[in-house]
Amino acid sequence: MTDKKIIAVVGATGAQGGGLARAILADKDSGFAARVLTRNPNSAKAVALAKLGAQVAALDVDDPESVKKAFAGAYGAYCVTFFWDHFSTEKEMAEAKSMAQAAKAGDLRHVIWSTLEDTRKWVPLTDDRMPTLQGKYKVPHFDAKWESNHFFTDAGVPTTFLLTSFYWDNFIHFGMGPKKNSDGKLVITLPMGDKKLPGIAAEDIGKCAYGIFKAPSAFIRKTVGIAGECLTGAQMAATFSEVLGKEVQYNAVPPHIYRSFGFPGADDLGNMFQFKHDFEEYFCGARDPKFARSLNPSLQDFKTWLASNKAAIPMEDAGASA
Ligand X SMILES: NC(=O)c1ccc[n+]([C@@H]2O[C@H](COP(=O)([O-])OP(=O)(O)OC[C@H]3O[C@@H](n4cnc5c(N)ncnc54)[C@H](OP(=O)(O)O)[C@@H]3O)[C@@H](O)[C@H]2O)c1
CA distances from 26 to 29, 71, 109, 136 (A): 9, 22, 22, 43
Region 75-114 residues binding ligand X, contact defined as CB under 6 A: 80-85
> Sheet of 186-189: strands edge to edge?
179-180, 186-189, 248-251
CB-nearer residue toward ligand X: 139 or 253: 139
Element (H or E) spanning 257, and its range?
Answer: helix 255-259
CB-nearer residue toward ligand X: 237 or 272: 272
CB-nearer residue toward ligand X: 83 or 152: 83
Answer yes or no: are the C-beta atoms of 5 and 34 closer than 8 Å: no
CB-nearer residue toward ligand X: 148 or 249: 148
Q: Is 200 helix (H, G, I), strand (E, B) or coil?
A: strand
Q: What is the DSSP string of 77-109?
A: EEE---HHHH--HHHHHHHHHHHHHHHHHTT-S
Counted residue by residue, the chain has a size of 322
If one asks whether residue 11 binds ligand X (CB under 6 A), the answer comes out as yes
Which residues, 6 or more positions from 292, have their beta carbon under 8 angstroms from its beta carbon? 200, 204, 208, 226, 227, 228, 299
Region 154-173 residues binding ligand X, contact defined as CB under 6 A: 164, 166-167, 170
Q: What is the DSSP string of 5-54?
A: EEEEETTTTSHHHHHHHHHHHH-TTSSEEEEEEES-TTSHHHHHHHHTT-
- How many residues belong to the site for ligand X (CB under 6 A)? 25
If one asks whether residue 65 binds ligand X (CB under 6 A), the answer comes out as no
If one asks whether residue 23 binds ligand X (CB under 6 A), the answer comes out as no
CB-nearer residue toward ligand X: 44 or 311: 44
CB of 19 to ligand X, least distance (A): 8
CB of 276 to ligand X, least distance (A): 11
CB-based burial label for 316 (10 Å; 0-12, 13-18, 19+) = exposed
Map residues 25-64 to x or -, x wherever contact with ligand X holds by CB under 6 A. -------------xxx--x---------------xxxx--
CB of 205 to ligand X, least distance (A): 8
Residue closest to ligand X, measured at CB: 14
CB of 318 to ligand X, least distance (A): 25
If one asks whether residue 15 binds ligand X (CB under 6 A), the answer comes out as yes
CB-nearer residue toward ligand X: 21 or 252: 21
CB of 245 to ligand X, least distance (A): 26
CB of 40 to ligand X, least distance (A): 5
List of residues contacting ligand X (CB under 6 A): 11, 13-17, 38-40, 43, 59-62, 80-85, 141, 164, 166-167, 170
